[in-house]
């Protein structure tokens, strides 16, 4: 898995920043991309 951060180049996106999630399936040799803008990337707090 790879999380990509960048800016959308399309004119209608007006240079908005965003995240894409990239998943590689090695057995099928395929890549899947998905919108990840709604992911909560705050660090998790672990309690013992």
Mean pLDDT by 10 residues, the chain (48 residues): 89 90 94 87 70
Q: Which domain holds residue 20?
A: 2-35
CA distances from 37 to 7, 14, 26, 46 (A): 12, 16, 25, 24
Residue 47 lies in a domain: no
Q: Give the global pTM.
A: 0.62
Cβ atoms of residues 8 and 16 within 8 Å: yes
Residue 22 lies in a domain: yes
Residue 40 lies in a domain: no
pLDDT of 46 reads 65
Total number of domains constituting the chain: 1
Residue 23 lies in a domain: yes
């Amino acid at each position: 898995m790879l999380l990509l951060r960048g800016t959308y180049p399309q004119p209608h996106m007006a240079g908005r920043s965003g995240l894409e999630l990239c998943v590689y399936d090695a057995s099928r040799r395929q890549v899947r991309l998905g919108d990840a803008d709604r992911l909560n990337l705050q660090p998790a707090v672990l309690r013992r």
